Chain A
């Protein structure tokens, strides 16, 4: 097949060229002076000072001791630096608060939709009377609420918070983001109502009819405006790696969604390849960049030490963009699509080990030696768990692209488990952590019931473990049964039932965890509990009082 061979050769050559170009730019020092760049997220004297607004005073003290070995905090952070951070946070707080609030509402609704779908799979005669809640509608409602409601709006909110901090510049044009977020959430609402009433486009991940989908494209573009305005007026020279991820993600999503929704363009099998180009890229080029940007900022920030290797983080960025964007075809292994396309996607899925290991080595090496810090920092707990599950999900994803593995897992619940490992285990966990970090800054108020953070953590961790372990096993057994021609098909259905029931139990615990989270979130919104004691937010009397209190206890 000449065309196939030529294309594969071209892909190989482009990949090789890109790799050499990358090595060349690195050798010329064009990525900036690596360690200084990694330090760019810290203010003067901030290095060695832990930060976690979700932690209680004693947790913060323990955290400081664990990470730096010192009970004493470093010298006071310069007041002007504190004021700059505070101004940065205040410039984004309204937009961030709105996006995160909407995200939490969608999360609760999405959880119930997911739980109902899950129960319906093992109790098929439950709630069948109403068309809007039939499995084939409530399941895509769950997916769209999670992807475009919870995950996207949480990601947008977190990104908006990070931008002024990363650029050390007040957020310019926050109102564009608020308008964009409003359009976006209107799109999600209308889209879900349309799915419920039967107006689905019929494409997975793209169920919203294009007229409503357009709101996400326009809204997404508006959300990006403050980033670019702030970027062009920034006070820092170097752009920290998180900025790269956020900037690229905010460009990629509207483009992807726009191309995928052009009415009347796509057809038949071509639409299927487009469908998986989109569905995979929305994970790889939208959620992954935002999740990683968050982890790359918050892990070093909380620990008060820079990322392990800055150059590695940029290798991770470019290789993620390049390889991830081409892996979608592996969803159609065995399907009626051109073989070269599938082969190419399988090759690039394997190449994904490069960005995955760059990120994994980088983030895990930063945390290494400080695992005890997870006890004291509620935020770090969620984020480190999330990044660990990122590694697991990505390696698993690469393996699933192999024909031998795919043969078993394709068409089974295993794929569903895998999708949850990525979007929940990685992305949602990182978002939970980030929200615990961010909200005290947005509200200038403490989390009123710190124990609820721990309760949330354990509920979702236990629930998710049950979910993922049993569903993966069930899905794998289902796949093996389907591959054995002597096993009747119905047996592959029957054997999954206990695992599907376990999934409902796990999903129930996760939902409960989300209710705790949402309750706590809104309790804070209504200002229950104590007012924020300061930490790094306002570098005035409040913060000084806190520091002296900390010192006093160890004097």
Chain B
């Protein structure tokens, strides 16, 4: 049992106390204060909430882990040529008003997608690219997503979305039909367009801090 030679012998109290106080301090700084600062932030005028179809597409994006290769956070020009690559202006916190879970990402195995909808507005391109990325971007290492499509012989039925692939990527008589998940995902990708102007709000001053 505890021996009380003096108060300091109660080591376990020091461990528990010290460990939890330190964790509380870090949590206040990294979780609580950002929470309070960002809670009341308003969406920029140009940003619209997602439609239910786009949200379904966002779910497909999450399911298939697109975030592990694609960031959604163009950086300031002082940190990298993101703008020059056509990825858009540096993002600000209010751009993500409707984004839960966040999909900022930490990798750029593929390009940043924050403005892919503006760069690549074509539905056909997106569908075909998801079916076989290398048909559009030679050397791409993005996985193909055949499970989002159905390949069938013969003509498509009424209301089905046929994917128009570049020549040589389907066999004679075969049609590639987009499943609903693929269509939803493309709607989400098309919605990724943050080209509206924003004020560089107070919570982001990457420029002065370099």
Q: Interface of A with B (CB < 8 Å)? A: 1, 7, 11, 14, 30, 120-122, 124-125, 128-131, 134-137, 139-140, 198-204, 228, 231-233, 237-239, 243-244, 247-248, 251-252, 255-256, 259, 266-277, 281, 285, 318, 321-322, 325-326, 328-329, 331-339, 341-345, 403, 407, 410-413, 415-416, 482-485, 489-490, 492-494, 497, 500
Which one of B26-34, B154-162, B164-172 is at the A interface? B26-34
CB pairs A–B below 8 angstroms (9 shown): A136-B65, A202-B103, A204-B67, A237-B9, A271-B101, A272-B96, A273-B30, A333-B79, A336-B93
How far apart sit A277 and B31, CA to CA, in the bound complex (Å)?
A: 7
A321/B19 contact (C-beta < 8 A), A268-B38, A483-B80 known: yes
A325/B139 contact (C-beta < 8 A), A200-B65, A332-B104, A411-B108 known: no
How far apart sit A482 and B109, CA to CA, in the bound complex (Å)?
A: 10
Q: Is the interface of A mostly helix, strand, loop or mixed?
A: helix
A411/B141 contact (C-beta < 8 A), A251-B20, A325-B25 known: no
How far apart sit A119 and B110, CA to CA, in the bound complex (Å)?
A: 16
Does the CB pair B80–A277 fall under 8 Å? Answer: no
Does the CB pair B15–A244 fall under 8 Å? Answer: yes
Count residues of B near A (Cβ-Cβ below 8 Å): 85
Does the CB pair B39–A270 fall under 8 Å? Answer: yes
* B123 CB–A CB distance under 8 Å: no
Of B22, B105, B133, the contact of A322 (CB 8 Å cutoff): B22
Does the CB pair B139–A493 fall under 8 Å? Answer: yes
* B129 CB–A CB distance under 8 Å: no
A-B contacts besides A131-B147, A342-B209, 12 pairs, CB < 8 Å: A1-B205, A125-B134, A129-B147, A204-B67, A204-B106, A243-B11, A266-B100, A268-B96, A272-B102, A273-B30, A326-B29, A331-B106
A269/B15 contact (C-beta < 8 A), A124-B144, A251-B20 known: no
Q: Is the interface of B mostly helix, strand, loop or mixed?
A: loop
Minimum CB distance partner of A408 in chain B: B80
A493/B140 contact (C-beta < 8 A), A272-B104, A338-B37, A483-B81 known: yes
Of A248, A341, A412, A490, the contact of B137 (CB 8 Å cutoff): A490
A-side contacts of B39, CB under 8 Å: 270
Does the CB pair A251–B16 fall under 8 Å? Answer: yes
B-side contacts of A497, CB under 8 Å: 141
Does the CB pair A281–B34 fall under 8 Å? Answer: no
Does the CB pair B106–A341 fall under 8 Å? Answer: no
Does the CB pair B16–A273 fall under 8 Å? Answer: no
Does the CB pair A329–B8 fall under 8 Å? Answer: no
A-side contacts of B203, CB under 8 Å: 337-339
Of B66, B141, B202, the contact of A124 (CB 8 Å cutoff): B141
Please give the distance in Å from B200's CB to the nearest CB on chain A.
10
Does the CB pair A336–B30 fall under 8 Å? Answer: no
User: A-B pairs with the 7 shortest C-beta distances?
Assistant: A136-B65, A325-B26, A485-B81, A198-B63, A202-B62, A334-B75, A268-B96
